[in-house]
Structures are given as C-alpha cells and as structure tokens.
Amino acid sequence: MAHNLNFNNRTGKYSFFSVKEKAWHNLGQIVQDYPTSEEAIKFAGLDYEVEKSSLFTKGNGFIENENGIEIANSELEVPNYFANIRTDNNTVLGVVGKDYHIVQNRDAFSFFDSIVGGENGILYETAGALGNGERIFITAKLPDYIRVGNGDDITEKYIFLTTSHDGSGSITAAFTPVRIVCQNTLNASLKNMSNVVRIRHTAGAKQRLEDAHKVMGLANKLSNELENTFNHWAKITIGDEEMKRLIQLALCPNKETLTHLQKGNFDEISTLFKNTVDDAFAYAMISESQQMETTKGTLYGAYNAVTGYFQNVRNYKNNEAKLQSIVLGGTAQTRSQKAFELCETFSRMGSDSLILN
C-alpha cells in the first residue's frame, strides 16, 4: 500500500517514529522507551522550522530606477500572500495570507508538555510528517483504559493532534479511543459534546494551543461516558437482520439510497453500496474480534462492525487518506458517528428504531 510519509533527503530518514511497535511499512525510527517532546521531535524528523517568505511573480513591463531611467521589471512582489518554507531544505509547503500565524512543530508539542510524564501524565507514542512536511501529527497515550465486559475487551485512550503548514485547516486535538483487539478507532461525540478541539492559525494560536489542555478534561469525561455506554450496549442483544439494517442505515451515502431502502427497491441500489454493507456485515459475523462475549450478537458488536470495517477492511489510497477519513472528519468518522447515534437510539427503543421512515 502506498504511503505519504515525508522522506528527508538531508538526513536520509523517513519523518516518523513509533514506540516499540513496528512503524508504518517498517519505515521510520522505532524506539524502546517513551521519549520526551524534544526527543520525539528529533525521532520523528520534525526538528525543522517554517518561515514566511515573500512571493514574487515575473514582471511584464517597465519601472523607473532611482535615476529615473526605465528598466525592465523582472519581478513583482505579490501583496498580502506568502510562501511557507521549510528552512532546512527550502521546500515550499504552501501559500498563506498575511494574517496566518505559523505554529512551529515544537509549539505543537507544547500542547502536551505540561501533562506528559509522571504518574498521571501521558506518553508520546507516535509522531510524523506527511507529504513534504506540510502536515504533522502526534499521538500521545493516556493512562488507564476503557474496559468493556469482564475487562478482556480493552480500549486504549489517546490524544491525537495534527497541524499543517500549508494554510489548510486548523490545529486539531481530538480524544481518540482505539480498541486493542482489532485496532479500530472508536471515535464518538456524545450528545452535544464534541471529541475535538480546534484552534485557528491566528496571531493568538500559540497561546491558545498552550491553553488547550482543556481537551484533557474532555477526554476524561468522554472516556467515562463511553465506558458506561459500551458496557450497556454489550448487554443488549441484536439479531442478524437488525444488525444488517443498522449497518445499512449507518453507511447510507445519500437520500436517494435511503429512499430505495425505504421502498425496498434493492435492484436500484448501487453495487458499491451493497458490497460495502456486505463487507461490514461479514466483518461482524466472522472477525475474531467480533466473536468476543462483548461483541457477538450485541449492540456493541454492531457499532464495532462499522468502525472496524473502516479501520480494518476498507482499502485507502494511502495512509494519509486513511488518517483523513478515520480521524480528521472524513467519511469513516461521520459514518461511525452515525452508527453511534443509531446504537444510542436502539438502546432506548429497540428494533422499532430501525424502521425506515
């Protein structure tokens, strides 16, 4: 499978590190002990600065020099726009406006530094750069776990942070639980509470980034609620037909498909959608991780059928596309959130909630 990890020609290394586990495609640096932020930045190849540089375009006329003599104008400065450049190799990472404030990689790590280490702290587990280094990401592991059932079904708790240097998007910090047994990401926003904190690239971004430790409070609240929710779902049985219907509703891509489902016009439904539903349902039925006491024939298993499909079955163009889909608000995350909401409703209303209307 293709990857989009940054390769640094200057150091001859891929910009990625992982603690103990194999790095993506056996690339990057594997370390045995959890690093400090300073060490993590170096291990991940993120020890470069980014600066704004003026943009120029070729001129097509004449201007007067200091002596009043017309000379050919070879360059014109582009007002209000700048190129973000890596200072270690002069690679252009993107074009930004005059109000764009660069958040250096070290400042992104500063979000974690006050809560990393110690008995109650978090630990840097992976970090890396994508493309030419225009997007970086960090995952840090929180202490303790989300335990479902008798404790054998364990979900690890992470904070995921990403930022970019190309002018696209905001700095994003998200609470991201990952179920150990099959490595599927159980992203979920509960009720009116999001699992994401977004910080704009403005002049105050660095200060706001330092203050964003509020995501820790968010993570603690979400993990407690999710543990209660998942344990409740693990006790609710759901039949095969109900599970398939829930998967159909969660993965339904548009109103047209929903209308065909409502009317029973299955011949009008795209083969792609049918195959997607079948693949997710098959994952629910035969995956070893779905045959545990907590998942087999349960509502919790139905939710994991959708999240697990996107994490472990579906193919992606590259790992950046997978990251975007699962963690950064893409299709996998929105469909998984839909599955979460459907399961919440099912837990209250039963199979009546799956009637297509």
Q: Give phi and psi for 293, each to the nearest 5.
A: -60, -35
The pLDDT score that the predictor gives to residue 1 is 39
Collapsed DSSP state (helix, strand, coil) of residue 157: strand
Confidence grade of residue 49 (pLDDT, cut at 50, 70, 90): very high
pLDDT top residue among 58 and 42: 42
Number of Cβ atoms within 10 Å of the Cβ of 95: 14
Mean of pLDDT values over 148-175: 82
pLDDT digits (tens, 9 = 90+) for 328-341: 777 878 888 888 88
Q: Are 45 and 154 in contact (CB under 8 A)?
A: no
> In angstroms, rounded to a whole number, what is the distance separating the alpha carbons of residues 277 and 245?
9
The pLDDT score that the predictor gives to residue 211 is 64
Number of Cβ atoms within 10 Å of the Cβ of 316: 17
Collapsed DSSP state (helix, strand, coil) of residue 77: strand
Q: Is 273 exposed, middle or buried (0-12, 13-18, 19+ CB in 10 A)?
A: middle
- With a pLDDT cut of 70, the percent of the chain lying above it is 79
The pLDDT score that the predictor gives to residue 72 is 55
Q: Give phi and psi for 350, each to the nearest 5.
A: 75, -160
Name residue, tokens 């690679």: 91
Q: Which helix (H) or strand (E) holds 36?
A: none
> Which of 133-137, 169-173, 326-330 is modeled with the greatest confidence?
133-137
Residue 11 has pLDDT above 50, yes or no: yes
Mean of pLDDT values over 144-163: 84
Residue 21 has pLDDT above 80, yes or no: no
The pLDDT score that the predictor gives to residue 269 is 75
According to DSSP, the residues that pair with 138 across neighbouring strands are 127, 161
The pLDDT score that the predictor gives to residue 26 is 64
Mean of pLDDT values over 80-108: 87
Q: What is the pTM of this model?
A: 0.76
Confidence grade of residue 213 (pLDDT, cut at 50, 70, 90): low
Mean of pLDDT values over 8-18: 76
> In angstroms, rounded to a whole number, what is the distance separating the alpha carbons of residues 184 and 178?
6
Least confident range of 59-68, 205-214, 303-312:
59-68
Strand order in the sheet with 50-58: 50-58, 75-86, 92-97
Write out 115-142 in H/E/C secondary structure: CECCCCCEEEEEEEEECCCCEEEEEEEE
Mean of pLDDT values over 79-95: 89
Confidence grade of residue 346 (pLDDT, cut at 50, 70, 90): confident
According to DSSP, the residues that pair with 126 across neighbouring strands are 18, 139
Q: Give how far Cα 39 sits from Cα of 21, 235, 310, 337, 353, Å.
A: 17, 44, 32, 35, 51
- With a pLDDT cut of 90, the percent of the chain lying above it is 2
Amino acid at 282: A
Q: Which two tokens stand for residue 229?
A: 């929710």
What mean pLDDT, rounded, does the chain reach? 78
Name residue, tokens 């909401």: 341
Amino acid at 82: F
Least confident range of 46-50, 52-56, 183-187, 297-301:
183-187
Chain centroid to Cα 140, Å, comes to 13
Residue from 135, 115, 119 nearest 127 by CA? 135
> In angstroms, rounded to a whole number, what is the distance separating the alpha carbons of residues 154 and 144?
10
Q: Which two tokens stand for residue 256?
A: 């047209």
pLDDT digits (tens, 9 = 90+) for 276-302: 888 888 888 887 777 777 888 888 888
Residue 209 has pLDDT above 70, yes or no: no
The pLDDT score that the predictor gives to residue 25 is 57
The pLDDT score that the predictor gives to residue 357 is 41
